[in-house]
């Protein structure tokens, strides 16, 4: 891939779209309209080629291999660690831990840091808008440690008010774990301010960046959080891999989460010593080709520039919101002025699952359900929403196709 440019005047989003072979598909005899990128993004040729190349040219297990293939494989695998650090604005690639995805990596923090440092009556603060991946791990650890969980609400438009969080913070607060961007509301959370509040009471601040790093430039030094995690498959990379950035001084204090090969220093039958971070947290054979593919995904978005991606997506989102607001039967769930990536909506007289099924007949892929955010659904007194989500390849014509599709929904169900 070349010539995608860095200056927004030169960015050719048509060309970028042509890098995604699957988008030329017909689904149900119609041109595919893919509006489900928040669940998982499609893959550009560069990523598919990198995966193929990893298997065709350099595949072998990583680390400690003395032969050429293993050295090549290890080199490529470790280069991605540097790319991920650079992508997140971190200066030390030893602060990047690979895992199977954000779910695994939040569980890692909960089980490692949480089980070591949380005491009875300590408090964990999350938000009502969190994905189950940033709720259930904290429940599991709080059941083991006797700590308590509090969730900061959002208002009827999905806005987060930092004062609501301030009211919950006290000396017992040990962890504040928040989404960068809500996968239902699209609300962008003020993570820098949240990190500052956490540090005022010596709590750690974790950012679930699954819906953040894919839409916005991220600089963990500027946010000044302690952990930031996201999954490759939402950033146009392969599934089965994600990264956690963690502050080295904190990682060094943390015990392993999973035990096995590659995470040790010395093993006796009744005891072991462990490798330094990041390897301490990476037991077993990793998804080698997928990590290499993830590196190609990072190159891909960096060639375009995350600021340019954000600007392009904001344009689509604005058009989307305007068009949806013209439909009187439709209400948008999540009307924050600072939104990114997703639009959830309800349609009078039509269940979200029926909307998704009717749109699918027209080749339009959206998602319907609780989006792994049941507490948020309950907060809004609903059981599900329809959700359209966009990516770097999205175009206004796709928004218009969905709006046309909603006319059929209205005819059939409204």
Catalytic machinery residues = 372
Instruction: Identify residues 119-148 at the interface with ligand PMP (CB under 6 A).
Output: 131, 133-134
| Sole binder of ligand PMP in the list 58, 147, 183, 384 (CB under 6 A) | 183
What lies within 8 Å, CB to CB, of 6 at 6+ separation is: 303, 304, 305, 308
- Give min distance, CB of 355 to ligand PMP, in A: 20
Smallest Cα–Cα separation from 359: which of 323, 302, 413, 297?
413
Is residue 231 at the binding interface for ligand PMP, with CB under 6 A as the rule? Answer: yes
The beta strands (E) that lie in 46-183 are given as: 96-99, 123-127, 148-152, 173-179
- Interface with ligand PMP by CB under 6 A: which range of 117-125, 194-202, 204-212, 333-341? 204-212
By rule CB under 6 A, what string of x and - marks binding of each residue 320-359 to ligand PMP? ----------------------------------------
The beta strands (E) that lie in 227-327 are given as: 227-231, 242-246, 264-267, 272-274
- Give min distance, CB of 244 to ligand PMP, in A: 11
How far is Cα 33 from Cα 23, in angstroms, rounded to an integer? 8
Q: Which two tokens stand for residue 21?
A: 């072979």
- Give min distance, CB of 272 to ligand PMP, in A: 28
What lies within 8 Å, CB to CB, of 407 at 6+ separation is: none
Instruction: Identify residues 60-79 at the interface with ligand PMP (CB under 6 A).
Output: none
How far is Cα 213 from Cα 92, in angstroms, rounded to an integer? 18
How far is Cα 135 from Cα 173, in angstroms, rounded to an integer? 16
Cis before 278 (ω within 30):
yes
| Sole binder of ligand PMP in the list 210, 327, 376, 399 (CB under 6 A) | 210
- Interface with ligand PMP by CB under 6 A: which range of 95-103, 281-289, 360-368, 400-408? 95-103
Is residue 215 at the binding interface for ligand PMP, with CB under 6 A as the rule? Answer: no
- Give min distance, CB of 65 to ligand PMP, in A: 29
| Sole binder of ligand PMP in the list 19, 122, 123, 208 (CB under 6 A) | 208
Residues that bind ligand PMP (CB under 6 A): 101-103, 131, 133-134, 179, 183, 208, 210-211, 231, 372
């Amino acid at each position: 891939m070349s010539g995608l440019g860095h200056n927004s005047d030169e960015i050719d989003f048509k060309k970028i779209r042509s890098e995604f072979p699957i988008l030329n598909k017909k689904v149900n005899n119609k041109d595919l309209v893919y509006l489900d990128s928040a669940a998982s993004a499609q893959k550009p040729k560069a990523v598919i080629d990198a995966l193929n190349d990893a298997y065709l040219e350099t595949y072998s297990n990583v680390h400690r291999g003395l032969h050429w293939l293993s050295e090549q494989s290890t080199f490529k695998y470790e280069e991605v660690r540097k790319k991920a650090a650079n992508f997140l604005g971190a200066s030390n690639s030893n602060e990047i831990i690979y895992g199977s995805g954000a779910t695994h990596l939040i569980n890692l923090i909960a089980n490692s840091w949480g089980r070591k440092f949380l005491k009875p009556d300590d408090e964990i603060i999350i938000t009502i808008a969190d994905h189950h991946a940033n709720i259930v791990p904290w429940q599991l650890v709080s059941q083991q440690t006797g700590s308590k969980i509090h969730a900061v609400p959002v208002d009827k438009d999905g806005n987060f008010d930092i004062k609501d969080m301030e009211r919950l913070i006290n000396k017992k607060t040990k962890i504040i774990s928040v989404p960068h961007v809500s996968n239902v509301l699209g609300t962008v959370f003020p993570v820098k301010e949240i990190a500052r509040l956490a540090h005022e009471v010596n709590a750690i601040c974790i950012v679930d960046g699954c819906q953040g790093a894919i839409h916005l430039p991220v600089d963990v030094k500027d946010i000044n959080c302690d952990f930031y995690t996201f999954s490759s498959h939402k950033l146009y990379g392969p599934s089965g891999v994600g990264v956690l950035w963690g502050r080295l001084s904190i990682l060094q204090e943390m015990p392993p989460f999973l035990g096995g090969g590659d995470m040790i220093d010395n093993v006796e039958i009744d005891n072991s010593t462990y490798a330094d971070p990041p390897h301490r947290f990476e037991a077993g054979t990793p998804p080698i080709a997928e990590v290499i593919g993830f590196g190609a995904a990072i190159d891909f978005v960096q060639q375009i520039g995350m600021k340019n991606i954000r600007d392009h997506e904001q344009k689509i989102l604005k058009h989307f919101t305007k068009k949806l607001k013209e439909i009187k039967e439709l209400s948008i769930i999540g009307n924050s002025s600072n939104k990114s990536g997703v639009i959830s909506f309800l349609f009078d007289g039509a269940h979200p699952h029926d909307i998704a099924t009717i749109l699918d007949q027209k080749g339009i892929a959206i998602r319907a359900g609780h989006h792994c955010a049941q507490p948020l659904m309950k907060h809004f007194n609903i059981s599900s929403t329809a959700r359209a989500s966009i990516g770097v390849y999205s175009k206004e014509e796709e928004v218009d196709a969905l709006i046309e599709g909603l006319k059929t929904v209205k005819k059939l169900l409204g």
